[in-house]
Amino acid sequence: MTLYLKSRIGPALFCLFTLSPIHTGQAAEQQVFHAYLDALPVFWQRIYPEGGRTLYCDEKFAAYHGHSINIEHVFPMAWAMRDEGCRSRKLCREVSERFNRIEADMHNLYPARSDINKIRRSFPYAEIAGEKREFGRCDFEFHPRQRVVEPRPASRGNIARALLYMHDAYGLTLFRRQGELMKKWNRDDPPDAEERRRNELIAQYQGTRNRFIDNPAAAEALVFK
């Protein structure tokens, strides 16, 4: 694994940082990782080398976290597949270089409890009336009839800025109701030290920043369908 990382984040990677970024009319797309599996070892060993806390439940995990913790794509890949016109994730990986960069973008990746990740699936985020708890101390709610999920308040800003970044960087569709809710969550839960730490490290290894962490007010100019 060490040799793998040296080949991935050694001189060749830093040469990529000197290239002019590709623009879509929004923020620059990341150009370093060309497949999700390329980003995985960097994500765990460089962004969370000593472990951390999960996005939805704020549960502490160690560097060797096992299968109980996995990676959540905050902007679901099912939504990206829809925009790319692919019938399956496997097909998207085979035919779309852009999809592979989208899937590997670490600004959209967060550690999550695997059981909560499975429940979230690709459901939109919402604010659900009431505080019915079904996951113990984890403040995460799922409304099966409305098919929406509600994360804890302290994670909402992180979620908002990840979704807004993906919409902005890649032109991915974020519908108006979801987009305006993300603007609200961005205002209500500003970036903290941990989110800024992530942004700095991801910029170092991936070569792009989440501009909404650097300047949350920039989100107010975004327009949704």
Higher pLDDT pick, 40 / 15: 40
Three-class DSSP category at 148: strand
Higher pLDDT pick, 123 / 28: 123
Classify the phi-psi angles of 224: left when phi > 0, otherwise alpha if psi is within -120 to 50, otherwise beta: beta
* Residue 77 to residue 85: CA distance in whole angstroms: 12
Tokens in use for 33? 């990782």
Tell me the pLDDT tens digit for each residue of 176-211. Answer: 999 999 999 999 999 999 999 999 999 999 999 999
Tell me the pLDDT tens digit for each residue of 76-134. Answer: 999 999 999 999 999 999 999 999 999 999 999 999 999 999 999 999 999 998 877 88
pLDDT at res. 208: 97
Query: DSSP string spanning 61-118?
Result: E-SS-GGGEEEEESS-HHHHHHHHT-SSHHHHHHH-HHHHHHHH-GGGEEEEEHHHHH
72: β partners: 110
Percent of the chain past pLDDT 70, that is, above it, reads 88
pLDDT at res. 14: 31
Does position 24 have pLDDT exceeding 80, yes or no?
no
